[in-house]
Amino acid sequence: MDLFPCHITHQNAIDKKLMNLIIHNAVKGIGPIATRESLVAWHELEWQKRENLWANFVLKKLNQPTINQRNIDRADIEKCPHYFSLELGGCVPGGSWMVQMFCSTVQKMCHYYDSECIKRAKTSKVIAIDASYKVPKWMMKWGSGRIYDALHSGTNEYNEIIM
């Protein structure tokens, strides 16, 4: 867990940094489908970078062979499979799984979030509270029941988000 910090379920696993990004996106109104599409784009971009590095390495070896290297025919070199191909099995979690992970992660961290809100509210002179009924509201379902009906946020006198 120290080498690969992640949240693991029987279906999938997700990096803790990525889970924090999903939570942040949900709070800001970016839903799971948009987050999933971003993940697919990031996977594609990273894969293309790695593919280009490999292609440059192969070209360098073809153009400047070492003494012990046998002659390589360009026809023997196959193109690397696509990241999402069956050969490699690359995948991105679905939107419903992200919602499920969002709910379970936030529920596990409720005590931490509550203590942080209390700590920040204690030192504030003014608190402006707002209620949002957008993406975070419909995401916070646990089974058939709703955990909350609105996402409440609060800012202090310096317009810093404290809760």
User: What is the per-residue pLDDT across 32-63, written as a single tens digit (0 to 9) for each?
Assistant: 888 889 888 998 898 889 888 888 888 887 77
Please check whether residues 48 and 80 belong to one and the same domain.
yes
Please check whether residues 117 and 86 belong to one and the same domain.
no
Please check whether residues 61 and 116 belong to one and the same domain.
no
Please check whether residues 46 and 78 belong to one and the same domain.
yes
Please check whether residues 40 and 63 belong to one and the same domain.
yes
Q: Does residue 104 fall inside a structural domain?
A: no
Rounded CA gap, 142 and 15, in Å?
22
Q: Does residue 101 fall inside a structural domain?
A: no
Q: Does residue 103 fall inside a structural domain?
A: no
Mean pLDDT of the chain, nearest integer: 80
Q: Is the pLDDT of residue 141 over 70?
A: no
Please say which residue of 95, 122, 140 terminates a domain. Answer: 95
Q: What is the mean pLDDT of residues 128-150?
A: 66
Residue 138: which domain range? 109-163
Residues whose CB is less than 8 angstroms from the CB of residue 93 and which lie 6 or more positions away in sequence, other chains included: 11, 12, 14, 36, 39, 101
What b/e string do you get for 58-80 counting C-beta neighbours within 10 Å, with b at 16 or more?
Answer: eeeeeeeeeeeeeeeeeeeeeee
User: What is the per-residue pLDDT across 66-95, written as a single tens digit (0 to 9) for each?
Assistant: 666 666 677 777 777 787 888 877 788 888
Amino acid at 162: I
Q: What is the predicted pLDDT for the residue at 70? A: 67
Q: Please answer whether residues 96 and 32 qualify as being in contact, where contact means their C-beta atoms are separated by less than 8 angstroms.
A: yes
Please check whether residues 120 and 155 belong to one and the same domain.
yes
Please say which residue of 60, 95, 130 terminates a domain. Answer: 95
Q: Is the pLDDT of residue 142 over 60?
A: no
Amino acid at 52: N
Taking alpha carbons only, the member of 18, 92, 95, 80 closest to residue 47 is 80
Please check whether residues 52 and 78 belong to one and the same domain.
yes
Which one has a higher pLDDT value, 93 or 139? 93
Q: What is the mean pLDDT of residues 15-36?
A: 84
Q: Does residue 2 fall inside a structural domain?
A: no
Q: What is the predicted pLDDT for the residue at 10? A: 81
Q: Is pTM beyond 0.85 here?
A: no
Which one has a higher pLDDT value, 120 or 134? 120
Q: What is the mean pLDDT of residues 132-136?
A: 65
Q: Is the pLDDT of residue 137 over 60?
A: no
Please check whether residues 18 and 91 belong to one and the same domain.
yes
Please check whether residues 134 and 70 belong to one and the same domain.
no
Q: How far is CA 72 from CA 66, 68, 76, in A?
A: 11, 12, 7
Cα dihedral 135, 137, 139, 140, rounded to 10, equals 160
Looking at the structure of the chain, the number of domains it has is: 2
Please check whether residues 45 and 122 belong to one and the same domain.
no
Give SS3 for 152.
strand
